[in-house]
Amino acid sequence: LGDEVEAFEQEFAAFVGVPHAVGVGTGTDALTLSLRALGIGPGDEVVSVANAGVAPVAAIRASGAQLRLVDVDPDTLLIDPQYLAGVLGPATRAIVAVHLYGNPVDLGALLEVASARGIPVVEDCAQAHGARWQGESVGSRGRVGCFSFYPTKKIGAFGDGGLCVTHDAQLAARIRE
């Protein structure tokens, strides 16, 4: 969508520490397009939390998948990896890990459970621009990180906007398509 968007994609990818970024219309679009690019669709299940607002649920439903809820840690209100293995089933095809209030999810424990089952993690970073987990930016550890630039977010647009970041060139190309 032009030189300015391309420059922003490159700068934001560098900010997060990944080689690829794709600008999209909204944060919800970022989540939806990421799930679709991962091949998520009807008959699939995606695990996330209930307290993250409408966008993750809307994106999961827009991909055609069913939402499966996992409990949150009562102290952080973030996805609790200790409960994650218990909710993963044979139809689980992705996990949407939501970083809330600028606080990152325990990505070490979460990614350990997910990788043991071969399940990709989509990081919802809409409320965590610039947050770091063990020295790395949120959005850089999962298969794809999704950001929102709605005016109420930490980095807001004049209107709306979203961005997907990833280490995977093929996944970035599918999102862009």
pLDDT at residue number 151: 54
Q: Which residues, 6 or more positions from 118, have their beta carbon under 8 angstroms from its beta carbon?
A: none
pLDDT, residue 134, reads 95
pLDDT of residue 60: 97
Mean pLDDT by groups of 10 residues along the chain of 177 residues? 91 97 96 98 96 92 96 94 94 97 95 97 95 96 92 69 97 97
What is the reported pTM? 0.95
Please, are residues 25 and 162 in contact by the beta-carbon 8 Å criterion?
yes
Angle between helices 27-37 and 169-176 (to 10 degrees): 120
Q: Residue 1: its pLDDT value, please?
A: 67
DSSP assignment string, 44-100: -EEEE-STT-HHHHHHHHHTTPEEEE--B-TTT-SB-HHHHHHH--TTEEEEEEEPB
Report pLDDT for 149.
84
